[in-house]
Structure 1
């Protein structure tokens, strides 16, 4: 039986910041989940706040011919096909020099249907049409204090 799963990663914010970080400052759970779900996807959407110019420039320089870029009022959105170079980028270059996940939102899709959503810099996750086996995997890689809501 399939259902939807929301996962809230325990997080904190540093003084004078609104940026949530995992309590243990470890994004290994996120990398494991991305590697798992990118193989089930054909398209990615990356959303950054417009003021995150360093990250936007990085994505543009690495994937200029692979992604469509749309600038909205507050967001820059990149969308394109999953590739091996993209998987390498997500797996090995996901954390900034400040120790923060680089992307506000990552959406993975297959045949235009949602597969995986990572929001608020990897601290809020939504996985639609999930199986008990996938839930067991997610619980095995996320921090113990994570909150899970099945619907």
Structure 2
């Protein structure tokens, strides 16, 4: 049986900030989760706020015009076929110099079908058609306080 799964990592914000930090102060859950769903996908989509200039330049350098880049009023969107370079980047280079998660949104697709969604800087997730195995795996790597909603 497959389920849609939404889950949220517990977060807090620093004074005068809206950036959500994981309560346990780290993103240890990110690598295992993104690795699992990268294996099931062929397309990567990354959204960054336009003022996240360093991250946008970094992604632009990694994708070397192989990804479509769309700049909207406040957000820059990169989308293209999964590459080993970009997969490695998502797995191993997920925080900036301030220790904050780099990407507002990461979506993974197989063709045009969504496989995985990470939002709000790696703290809010949606997995459509998650298997029981997917759900058990996710629960084994996220903080114990994570909230889950299956439907």
1:13 aligns with 2:17: no
CA offsets, 1:84-104, max 9 Å, x none?
111111111111111111000
* RMSD between aligned residues: 0.7
SS at match of 1:126: strand
The normalised TM-score by structure 1 is: 0.98
Gaps spanning 5+ residues in structure 2: where? Answer: none
The match for 1:82 is 82
CA offsets, 1:111-143, max 9 Å, x none?
210000000001000000011111000000000
The match for 1:143 is 143
Count of matched residue positions in the alignment of Structure 1 and Structure 2: 151
The normalised TM-score by structure 2 is: 0.98
Matches for 1:2-151 after TM superposition, within 5 Å:
2-151=2-151
List structure 1 runs of 4+ shifted beyond 3 angstroms. Answer: none
Once the 2 structures are TM-superposed, how far is the Cα of residue 6 of structure 1 from its aligned partner? 0.3
Distance in 1 of aligned mates of 2:80 and 2:28: 24
Distance in 2 of aligned mates of 1:11 and 1:120: 11
Gaps spanning 5+ residues in structure 1: where? Answer: none
Distance in 1 of aligned mates of 2:69 and 2:62: 13
